[in-house]
């Protein structure tokens, strides 16, 4: 039947049916949103009219006052502890991730069963959200900074192992082949071929992990009673909103600073 149509007619029908499908997709999307709102008794107009009230409340309760500023040194102290914990968790997780990634990459591991089990371990740890880790270890170790560290460690480990496997697969295959052909041993191939090829990407991922962990540490701290998250929850629960908001502002500031620093570092190493 197509052969009876000219090319331009054929293309015209094709484009038209594509437009209709796109239109139906958006109609469906809006219908789904409307139905969900109706089912949950959510009135969008109420949310918008409430905005001015929210702003007034925020201005009255969330702008740090003099009293909260006297707590700044204490807050910064806790924040510093949190930053150190993120760095420690990220770096130690990276140290464990590297050998697992070597086992999990098809480039550096010729044993199929080992490769699949390493990949399985990495996926398992990566797919459990950090809050779930925090809650699991809360039951095991109780409320302590160590619990927070362990939660960050396991979540970072899964993520980094996965990222390192991809980095090795992507960049190291060619040098690995060359060093094998030259008679290099497994150790030579890893240290002289794989490591120099993937090191910049690995460092970049660890820096990213440190940034992410500082953000997550605030949340994990709420649960595990450590670091800046705990400080926030104390102020929040004792209704000292000015101090709680000061905590949030300092977290944002520190995350921005760390991001700027790690971007500088990234440019230096790449």
Which spans of this chain sit near other proteins (rule: CB under 8 A)? 174-175, 177-185, 187-188, 190-193, 196-197, 199-200
Contact in structure between 247 and 69 (CB atoms under 8 Å) = no
175 burial (CB, 10 Å; 0-12 / 13-18 / 19+) is middle
Least distance from C-beta 167 to other proteins, angstroms? 13
Least distance from C-beta 202 to other proteins, angstroms? 12
Q: Which is nearer to other proteins, 24 or 182 (CB)?
A: 182
Q: Which is nearer to other proteins, 193 or 229 (CB)?
A: 193
Least distance from C-beta 192 to other proteins, angstroms? 6
62 burial (CB, 10 Å; 0-12 / 13-18 / 19+) is middle
Q: Which is nearer to other proteins, 134 or 172 (CB)?
A: 172
Q: Which is nearer to other proteins, 51 or 181 (CB)?
A: 181
Q: Which is nearer to other proteins, 192 or 233 (CB)?
A: 192
Least distance from C-beta 207 to other proteins, angstroms? 18
| Cα–Cα distance for residue pair 140/105, rounded to 1 Å | 33
Query: Would the CA dihedral through 100, 103, 107, 112 be positive or negative?
Result: negative
| Distance of alpha carbon 51 from the chain centroid | 30
Least distance from C-beta 187 to other proteins, angstroms? 5
| Distance of alpha carbon 212 from the chain centroid | 5
User: Which residues are CB-neighbours of 118 under 8 A, at least 6 positions away?
Assistant: 100, 101, 103, 104, 109, 161, 165
DSSP string, 47-69: HHHHHHHHHHHHHHHTS--HHHH
Least distance from C-beta 26 to other proteins, angstroms? 45
Q: Which is nearer to other proteins, 108 or 147 (CB)?
A: 108
Residue 264 half-sphere exposure toward CB, CA atoms < 13 A: 6
């Amino acid at each position: 039947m197509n052969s009876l149509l000219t090319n331009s007619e054929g293309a015209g029908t094709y484009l038209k049916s594509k437009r209709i499908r796109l239109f139906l997709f958006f109609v469906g999307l809006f219908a789904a949103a409307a139905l969900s709102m109706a089912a949950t008794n959510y009135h969008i107009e109420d949310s918008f009219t409430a905005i001015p009230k929210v702003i007034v409340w925020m201005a009255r309760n969330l702008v740090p006052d003099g009293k909260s500023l006297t707590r700044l040194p204490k807050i910064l102290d806790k924040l510093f502890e949190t930053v150190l914990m993120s760095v420690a968790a990220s770096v130690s997780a990276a140290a464990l991730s590297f050998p697992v990634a070597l086992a999990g990459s098809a480039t550096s591991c010729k044993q199929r069963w080992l490769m699949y089990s390493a990949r399985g371990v990495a996926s398992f740890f990566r797919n459990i959200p950090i809050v779930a880790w925090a809650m699991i270890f809360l039951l095991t170790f109780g409320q302590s900074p160590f619990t927070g560290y362990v939660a960050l460690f396991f979540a970072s480990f899964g993520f980094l192992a996965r990222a390192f496997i991809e980095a090795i697969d992507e960049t190291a295959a060619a040098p690995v082949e060359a060093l094998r052909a030259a008679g290099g041993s497994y150790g030579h191939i890893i240290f002289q071929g794989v490591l120099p090829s993937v090191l910049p990407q690995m460092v970049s991922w660890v820096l990213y992990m440190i940034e992410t962990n500082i953000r997550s540490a605030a949340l994990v701290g709420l649960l595990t009673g450590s670091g800046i998250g705990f400080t926030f929850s104390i102020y929040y629960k004792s209704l000292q909103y000015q101090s709680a908001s000061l905590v949030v502002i300092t977290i944002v500031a520190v995350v921005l600073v760390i991001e700027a620093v790690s971007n500088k570092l990234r440019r230096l190493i790449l």
